[in-house]
């Protein structure tokens, strides 16, 4: 993970997401991230385990990864020109402290009023198929999000809120070698209005 100066090895851990129980939709990513971290603990001995999960929430419904192009089109038409929420949970397990930390981040996302032809081209290109809500904020050619109307963390919508990660790591005694907010904003081109509040622990 070179953006922050921390390096990580990646290990997929299959979990049964249908087992996740939550009384509120906002709690689903935290429960999933915890399940992933717990599953990773059983695969070997490491100092730190990072797991994360992101959900797109629209009118109380979770929009997951589309199974078909038709489902992707349905999701993107539903979201077009409207505002929804993206919630990511970061689970960080320290073997030394035998402690699990969960960080939650929420961003209010407004989609632009993209046209039907560009929507069809985007879906046929295949990019939406592995993304919650059927879109990637980083997909520059389609550019689904009206960034000027977005409120919150950009990296959260990509799937890993870096300042929340830095805050959790600092809590465990790890300081990032790089300036995380500056690196994130340089990479995304987004002027973040919330990083100071996140690092202070206000949100």
Domains annotated for the chain, with CATH where assigned, are 17-196 (3.90.950.10)
Q: Would you say the C-alpha torsion 163, 165, 168, 169 has a positive or negative sign?
A: negative
Give me the pLDDT at residue 1, please. 46
pTM for the model: 0.90
Give me the pLDDT at residue 32, please. 93
Contact 37, 93 (CB under 8 A): yes
Give me the pLDDT at residue 44, please. 65
Give the residue ranges of the chain where pLDDT is below 70. 1-5, 43-44
Host H or E run for residue 77: helix 69-79
**From edge to edge, which strands make up the β-sheet containing 83-94?**
61-63, 48-58, 83-94, 99-110
List the catalytic residues. 53
Give me the pLDDT at residue 158, please. 94
Give me the pLDDT at residue 203, please. 83
Q: HSE (CB half, 13 Å, CA atoms) of 155? A: 27
Which of 138, 117, 119, 102 lies closest to 66, judged by CA?
119
């Amino acid at each position: 993970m070179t953006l922050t100066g921390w390096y990580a090895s990646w290990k997929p851990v299959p979990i049964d997401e249908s087992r996740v129980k939550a009384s509120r939709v906002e709690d689903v990513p935290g429960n999933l991230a915890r399940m992933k971290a717990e599953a990773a603990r059983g695969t070997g001995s490491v100092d730190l385990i990072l797991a994360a999960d992101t959900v797109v929430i629209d009118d109380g419904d979770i929009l997951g990864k589309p199974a078909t192009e038709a489902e992707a089109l349905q999701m993107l038409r539903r979201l077009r020109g409207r505002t929804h929420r993206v919630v990511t949970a970061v689970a960080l397990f320290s073997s030394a402290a035998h402690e699990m930390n969960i960080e939650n981040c929420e961003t209010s996302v407004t989609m632009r009023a993209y046209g039907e032809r560009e929507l069809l081209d985007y879906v046929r290109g295949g990019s939406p198929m592995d993304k919650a809500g059927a879109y990637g904020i980083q997909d520059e050619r389609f550019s689904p999000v009206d960034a000027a109307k977005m409120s919150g963390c950009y990296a959260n919508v990509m799937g890993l809120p870096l300042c929340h990660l830095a805050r959790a790591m600092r809590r465990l005694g790890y300081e990032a070698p790089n300036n995380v907010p500056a690196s994130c904003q340089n990479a995304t081109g987004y002027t973040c209005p919330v990083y100071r509040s996140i690092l202070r622990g206000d949100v």
